[in-house]
A and B are shown apart, each in its own frame.
Chain A
Amino acid sequence: MGSERTSWQFCLVVGLAWLILLFLLLPILVTVPVSFTPERYVSMPEFGDWSLRPYESVFSGDQWLNSMGQSFVIACAATALSVVIGTLAAVGLWRLSSRLADMVRWLALLPLIVPPVVSALAFYQVFVQIKRLVGLRMLDSYIGLIVAHGILAIPFVVITVSAALANMDLRQEQAARSLGANMRQTLWHVILPNLKPGILAGAVFAFILSWDEIVVTLFVTSRRIFTLPRRIWSGIREHLDPAIAAVATLLIAVTIIAVVVAVLMRRRKEASQEG
């Protein structure tokens, strides 16, 4: 492994990878300054002309914070829903080879393929029906949006977990079973630990999908639920509010802080273990 890591070819590839990551970061170079613009519309501020106006509008009144809170709750719940259901299904499908299983694999992809507005209409119609049949209000409610976003995220979870499963050693599972472990034990102690990166990847997608989702949300909510994307899109007729750049910058800052804290804590744990 050592010779692989230090070969010049590898260094070249690492360099390329960092160039690509820089490309990923480019819009951030724009978003952060834009969040300090003094104008009412999205624009790059001149040097020395930076203002906290967008941040003021985010924190004054509770509109932006409420929307962020709602989006966060819904995204977390939708992620939990899709991760649980998607992971279990991916593991199940991993060991099934029948025609029926193929159909289910296909079905699991459906929410990804169907155009968003068709999904939106479908959810709308079925939610109205549910209200009629069992009296449960899913339109303009947390549960409705959580279910809708969860369903939309399932394909991502199934795909990433399946990708991780594809290279997992089947013998581990077989060994556990032959030693007498039942399904639940095998799942929990053998299979799932190996799937952590796949599950994590799926969870990240699910969260971001729900966080950013607008088309279905517009159809399925009206007054009670006003997620962050709805607030961003509202008023797009008139102007692009720099507050959204401020929101993005704040979230990025929070992420960076969280990661730094995690790294520091890990270092401290390592240090204490050595000591």
Chain B
Amino acid sequence: MTVLGSRRIDSYWVLVLPLLLLLVALYVYPVVKVLVVSVTDPTTGLGNYELLATNSGIQKMLWVTLRICVITSAITMLLGYIVSYVLVHVGERHRLWMMLFILIPFWVSVLIRSFSWLILLRPDGLVNDVLVGSGVVGEPLDLVRNEIGVVIGMVHYMLPIAVLPLYANMRGIDRSLVAAARGMGAGPFEAFWRVFLPLSLAGVAGAGLLVFIFSLGFFVTPAILGGGKTIMIAEYVSIQILTIVKWGTGAMLSVVLLATVALLLMAMSRVINVREMFGAK
């Protein structure tokens, strides 16, 4: 690399510096201080971490969290992919309308959104009225105050969060490549499957990761739509820290969360070039 080249690369650090300074001073440092409490409260040592092996309540909560977040993320990504794909391929006016539909729900606070879903999904709500009225089912389904309701509510919240970065990524895909494949005789589905989809995978991975990590932090929606029976990690940690003041346990669970995501990123980096996901070339 020429001298000019290496200086060029170094100068990019200047762009990163503000983020680094802000984050380290005002976030990383105090968060680490809180996480350290996991080994100091109530006594020094790994007692809090032992709970992972001994406390069945914590284990159940972690399992429920994982299950719900994986299912929610998968569904969200599938639906989000369809919407993003269409967004990228339709005309400008059409796209504007779609964007409107995607962005409007953002204005509805998560609390009222959850209560709205409650009203919709109740045994006497709109959804069940339609299902029973049209004869699809004989009796109203239990769609809320359980995991199903939680998944529906979470998918709804996260769909726009999946669509926007996916769309931003898909926009950059060179569509002439797809046209070329069609020109060479591939059918529309084959052209999609073999050309477009692989090119979009980096975006899918990035959006999927975002959605999954975001879903781990949910607690309003599960609290309201879960009937009190689906407690997830964010609410659990909140209870530890705010209600029963067991900061050690709360900090320990946060460390576990961080470690899990780190492992996830590492695992993903075997399959997909994570740096590329972030755009590094």
Contacts and interface: CB of A to CB of B under 8 A. Distances in A.
So, do A and B actually touch in the complex, CB under 8 Å?
Answer: yes
Nearest to A260: B100
Contact of A119 (B31, B96, B281): B31
Nearest to B200: A167
Contacts, number: 335
Interface string A88-116: 11111111110001101111111111111
A165 B119 CA distance: 41
Interface string A1-39: 101110101100110111011011111111100100000
A202 B281 CA distance: 21
A89 B15 contact: yes
Contacts of A17: 82-83, 85-87, 98
Interface of B is mostly: helix
Interface string B221-258: 00000000000011001100110000000110110011
A112 B167 contact: no
B106 A167 contact: no
Contacts of A111: 23, 27
A166 B19 contact: no
Interface residues of A, number: 109
Contacts of B64: none
Contact of A125 (B15, B33, B110, B281): B33
Contacts of A91: 12, 15
Contact of B31 (A7, A97, A122): A122
A35 to B, nearest CB: 9
B26 interface: yes
Interface bin, chain B: 35 or more
Interface of B: 8-9, 11-16, 18-20, 22-24, 26-31, 33-35, 79, 82-83, 85-87, 89-90, 93, 96, 98, 100-113, 115-117, 119-120, 126, 156, 159-161, 164-173, 175, 178-179, 182, 188-189, 191, 199, 202-203, 206-207, 209-210, 213-214, 216-217, 219-220, 233-234, 237-238, 241-242, 250-251, 253-254, 257-258, 261-262, 265, 274-281
25 contacts: A7-B188, A16-B86, A85-B18, A89-B16, A94-B278, A101-B16, A112-B217, A114-B31, A116-B234, A117-B234, A122-B30, A159-B210, A159-B278, A162-B277, A163-B207, A165-B278, A166-B169, A166-B203, A166-B277, A167-B170, A168-B172, A197-B167, A201-B167, A214-B220, A251-B107
